[in-house]
Amino acid sequence: PALADSAYLLRLTPLLGSRVLRADFWRAHEDHLTTDDEPRAALAALLLAGRVSCLPHIAYEDRRLRPASLPPVTPAQHLAAVDRYEALLDLAQDRPAVYTVLYEIMVRDCLRTFARGAVPEPAAREFFLRAGSAAVRRRPEGYRRPGGPEGVRRSLL
């Protein structure tokens, strides 16, 4: 099926290793897929694919250090996440269902980053301004936030 029929696949953990890609697909989209930003490459692979299939078995097992064992994320890395979603939304702009799901993921991730207090001051102000600007500028036409507390939370951005 095409991603437009299964836009929820964008909500799966964005690991490039969990994507099985044809060599000719990789070569055709190498500029989007060759990056140190694994979530960006994994989501771009889905957005660029003409069709998507799932394997009936595990193809990749990701064993990473726990977040507490990793070095802290820098303010520049937090800001790069906003840039990542802006670039990915450009790839999805002609597919409304896919664009909307990706927009919701962007808002969720930006709110999580800010709410966790992971960004030190004054970088937190810059992050919030950039994330808020992207959320307003990239809001899908006719988009309605969910109701209740979740809608209130999303209205903050």
What is the per-residue pLDDT across 10-45, written as a single tens digit (0 to 9) for each?
888 888 777 788 899 999 999 999 988 888 999 999
Q: Which of 1-10, 18-27, 49-58, 64-73 has the lowest mean pLDDT?
A: 64-73
**pLDDT (0 to 100) of residue 6:** 85
Q: Is residue 130 part of a domain?
A: yes
Q: Is residue 21 part of a domain?
A: yes
- What are the angstrom distances between the C-alpha of 107 and each of 30, 83, 94, 115, 133? 27, 13, 20, 12, 11
pLDDT at 106 over 80: yes
pLDDT at 60 over 80: no
- What are the angstrom distances between the C-alpha of 31 and each of 25, 56, 75? 11, 30, 25
Q: Which residue blocks in the chain are alpha helix, DSSP H?
A: 23-28, 30-33, 38-48, 75-92, 96-115, 123-137, 148-155
Q: Is residue 60 part of a domain?
A: yes
Q: Is residue 111 part of a domain?
A: yes
| CA–CA dist 136, 146 (Å, integer) | 16
Q: Is residue 157 part of a domain?
A: no
The number of domains in the chain is 1
Supply the range of the domain harboring residue 94: 3-152
What is the per-residue pLDDT across 36-57, written as a single tens digit (0 to 9) for each?
888 899 999 999 998 888 777 7
**pLDDT (0 to 100) of residue 70:** 66
What is the per-residue pLDDT across 75-99, written as a single tens digit (0 to 9) for each?
788 888 899 999 999 999 999 999 9
**pLDDT (0 to 100) of residue 67:** 64
